[in-house]
Structure 1
């Protein structure tokens, strides 16, 4: 991928974000934080951005690293997956009810506690589809900055909270040891070719099929098919996965660049409150899975948590949970949100556009 012609003033900011991201990743790894290579850069760059440091995420690298993560997540699927599908039916049936409850609770909070306009409250409340909800909300006359901040906070807080809870209460730590490392030489030329094809063809095919999050869904789907069929058994090289996680974490943290806690403090507090409510709904529905399907609470929380698809799937991998189960539930969640929210918006009747000064 060619390096884009960015303004020269951005490169020092990107370099600073990269340095903070790498150092934060090493520190998070040293202290045993779950998913250290993503959470460390996310927290480090986020704190730097809120403190006013001149950081800028390498957003132009996202189309390169997301397919790598997609292929890696697909490697979590296995040939005996069919035996597990029946066990997942209860979660899949409960998922739409969870989304309705989560969206309703979040909407009510933003609308009646926060005093947001109907448009801002509606598109801020969606438990997923960050880019899509920002675009649709702005088109409907909503406050782009407010909606973007709500979703950035949701993803940031959910990932951090889930990782912290697992670390403190369940004593989960980052995987260590050489057994977890896959080097370039561990892959045969055939393996490397198949994984590369999954990434490239998956992106192209996903875009042509207009899949949500095509850069992740396409490669992830092809990789899952390849691993389920037994065509390939290896994941991508670990160094590529680590570099991808550092990039994603840095981009997530740098989303808060330019956010002034003084002027946007109220919106940030509302985002925190709404996310806490979402997590409460998540735990409630995850607890229902126990008696209904026998799914452990921890795994149910990971499956329902309204964080990013990429991030929550990676967190499941770091926690030693069923990646295929968690990734599948988040893929279904994103599809339901991306296609369901615009439909619900039309069916409920478009609220009046928000005034320009809100």
Structure 2
């Protein structure tokens, strides 16, 4: 069997990148013409996902997703400043609510997947966990769960959140007082003046943050490293560069195309079947998140949109992107999702051990 040479692999990677980016760009153009919200995210995601499901064999190289992570981290870091520290003291109630919601939503979604979708118990549980995808996939082999079904279930969770949450918040925008970021406004925004000192400080602290994130084994170090690095600059009141608004559109574009291309080499019938059951499971989870949001709105004065986005069961990069694109308190949202990841990462191995001992 002939192995591809490095040159052939490079050419294949370039074809994959160019082809996927062209498909994603067509999706952005169509969504822009139709006036659909968040075209750079939803358009690129929809186009690459549909192309993959009907036979498009290319996947966007990982470097593009990693680039989006770095951009998001640099952009969101400016939202974390000294005021954040005082806000942390007011969040124990919402973080406790987050723990309760994780338990309830995992149980409810896994019951549906087991009873209606025909998943075995272990696969249903792993597919229903609302976050910490890396920890979930590592736990699959120990429980004997079907990794393919779990991965598609987790991707469905992310896709449902990316489509459903912004459209719901935009629909409720007039009542929630949401300032929706306009793509055309971002495209036409003036670029901040280049300052070599500010860029040097920002890049230096971002690299230090990345290295510390790797050392501490934090999730998404390419995202959280730059985020906490820029946040450290903010809190120390040191100069940091101002990221152009266009960079957020680039992150939306690359992240949407990257997620959509996950469906390459998966038959559309299989993908639609799993997506259908995953969609219902996610409706259950989002309904619980809405109910928890409503309960806290009645007893606290937190912003309803920020609460719902903090409780939404998406991946950290996707939720952070939505928080910034919809201009909804990124610091509050990011810390709640970090807290959820840590809670799942600490508790899931214990749950897996207990379940594995019963098998």
Question: How many residue pairs align between the two structures?
Answer: 349
Q: Could you state the TM-score of these two structures normalised by the residue count of structure 1?
A: 0.88
Change (3 A) 1:45 1:4: farther
The answer to whether structure 1 residue 323 and structure 2 residue 326 are counterparts is no
1:231 to 2:234 alignment: no
CA deviation vs aligned residue, 1:243-278 (integer Å, no higher than 9, x gap): 333211111011111222323543222111111111
For 2:25 and 2:198, how far apart are their aligned partners in 1?
29
Q: Is 91-100 or 126-135 further displaced after alignment?
A: 126-135
* Equivalent in 100, 103, 117 of residue 103 of structure 2: 100
Which residue of 37, 42, 66 maps to 1:39? 42
Query: Is contact 2:60-2:257 (8 Å) kept?
Result: yes
Please identify, of 53-62 and 140-149, the stretch whose mean Cα deviation from structure 2 is larger: 53-62
Change (3 A) 1:104 1:35: same
Question: Does structure 1 retain, via aligned residues, the 8 Å contact 2:64–2:258?
Answer: no
Residues in 2 aligned to 1:112 and 1:253: alpha-carbon distance in whole angstroms:
28
Going from structure 1 to structure 2, the CA distance change for 1:338 and 1:180 (only over 3 Å counts) comes to farther
- Is the contact between residue 76 and residue 330 of structure 2 (CA under 8 Å) also seen in structure 1? yes
Q: Is 1:304 the equivalent of 2:311?
A: yes
Query: What does the per-residue CA deviation read over 1:218-262, in whole Å, with 9 as the maximum and x for residues that have no partner?
Result: 221222222233223544234444333321111101111122232
How many Å separate the matches in 2 of 1:322 and 1:306? 17
- Select the residue among 167, 181, 185 that pairs with 2:170: 167
Does the residue aligned with 1:87 lie in a helix, a strand or coil? coil
Aligned counterpart in structure 2 of residue 222 of structure 1, from 220, 229, 233: 229
2:79 to 76, 79, 83: 76
Task: Output one character per residue of 1:129-176: Cα deviation in whole Å (capped at 9) or x when no partner.
Answer: 223312321353221111110001110011100122123332664325
Q: How does 1:1-358 map to 2 (within 5 A)?
A: 6=9, 8-29=11-32, 33-170=36-173, 173-175=180-182, 176-177=184-185, 181=189, 183=191, 185-232=192-239, 234-350=241-357, 352=359
Distance of 2:87 and 2:270 partners within structure 1: 49
* Deviations 1:20-69 (CA, angstroms, capped at 9, x unpaired): 22333344455554443222211221122122233312223333331221
Do 2:76 and 2:227's aligned partners in 1 also have CA atoms closer than 8 Å? yes
Cα distance in 1 for residues equivalent to 2:319 and 2:163:
10
Contact 1:58-1:247 within 8 A present in 2 as well: no
Q: Using the alignment, how far apart are the partners of 2:206 and 2:9 within structure 1?
A: 26
Q: Deviations over 1:82-135 (max 9, x none)?
A: 342333232112111111111111121122222312221121111002233123
TM-superposed CA distance for 1:319, in Å, is 1.5
Higher helix share: 2
- The range that moved more, 215-224 or 173-182, is 173-182
Q: Take 2:155 and 2:131, find their aligned partners in 1: how far apart are those partners?
A: 10
Do the aligned partners of residues 88 and 192 (structure 1) sit closer, same or farther apart at CA in structure 2, a change above 3 Å counting?
same
Give the alignment's Cα RMSD to 1 decimal.
2.6
TM-score, length basis structure 2: 0.88
Whether the 8 Å CA contact 1:71–1:198 is kept in 2: the answer is no
* Alignment partners' CA distance in 1, 2:38 and 2:199: 25
For residues 274-318 of structure 1, the C-alpha deviation after alignment (integer angstroms, 9 at most, x for no partner) is 111111111111112112222232221111000111111121112
Structure 2 unaligned spans of 5+: 1-5
Question: Matches of 2:32 and 2:283 in 1, distance apart?
Answer: 27
Does the 8 Å contact 2:70/2:226 carry over to 1? Answer: yes
